[in-house]
Amino acid sequence: MKNIAVIGYGVIGKRVADAINLQDDMKLSGVCDIISDWRIQNAVRKEYDIYAATPEATDKMKSEGISVKGDMHDLLKKSDLVVDCTPKKIAAQNVAIYKEQNIKFILHGGEKHETTGHSFSAENNYQSALNLDATRVVSCNTTSILRTLTALKRADLLDYARGTLLRRATDPWESHLGGIMNTMLPERDIPSHQGPDAKSVDPDLDVITSAVKVPETLSHMHYWNVKLKKQVSKEEVLNAFKTSSRIKLIQYDQGLVSNNTIKEMFLDMGRPWGDMYEVALWEDMLKVVGDELFYAYVVDNQAIVIPETIDAIRALTGIETDGAKSIAKTNESLGIH
The structural domain count of the chain equals 2
Residues 23 and 93 in one domain: yes
Residues 275 and 315 in one domain: no
Q: Is 140 a catalytic residue?
A: yes
Task: List the domain range (segments joined by +) for residue 207.
Answer: 138-297
Name the percent of the chain lying above pLDDT 70. 100
Residue 142 counted as domain residue: yes
Residue 228 counted as domain residue: yes
DSSP three-state, residue 302: coil
Q: Amino acid identity, residue 93?
A: Q
**Axis-axis angle for helices 305-317, 323-334 (nearest 10):** 140
What is the spatial distance between Cα 164 and Cα 222, in angstroms, rounded to a whole number?
Answer: 6
Preceding amide of 196 cis, omega within 30: no
Name the percent of the chain lying above pLDDT 90. 96
Residues 8 and 27 in one domain: yes
pLDDT at residue 204 above 90? yes
Residues 262 and 327 in one domain: no
Q: What angle do CA 24, 122, 235 make, to 5 degrees?
A: 115
User: From the annotation, which residues make up the binding site?
Assistant: 33, 301
pLDDT at residue 258 above 90? yes
Residue 82 maps to which CATH number?
A: 3.40.50.720
Residues 292 and 308 in one domain: no
Residues 122 and 91 in one domain: yes
Residues 17 and 130 in one domain: yes
What is the spatial distance between Cα 315 and Cα 326, in angstroms, rounded to a whole number?
Answer: 8
Residue 178 maps to which CATH number?
A: 3.30.360.10
Task: Provide the b/e sequence for 72-111 (b: ≥16 CB within 10 Å).
Answer: bebbbeebbbbbbbbeeebbbebbebbeeeebbbbbbbbb
Question: Which among 106, 122, 132, 140 is annotated as catalytic?
Answer: 140
Residue 337 counted as domain residue: no
Residues 80 and 101 in one domain: yes
Residues 228 and 246 in one domain: yes
DSSP three-state, residue 246: coil
At 88 the pLDDT is 84
At 92 the pLDDT is 85
Q: What is the mean pLDDT of residues 229-254?
A: 98
Residues 262 and 310 in one domain: no
User: From the annotation, which residues make up the binding site for NAD(+)?
Assistant: 33, 301
pLDDT in tens, 29-82: 999 999 999 999 999 999 999 999 999 999 999 999 999 999 999 999 999 999
What is the spatial distance between Cα 291 and Cα 112, in angstroms, rounded to a whole number?
Answer: 35
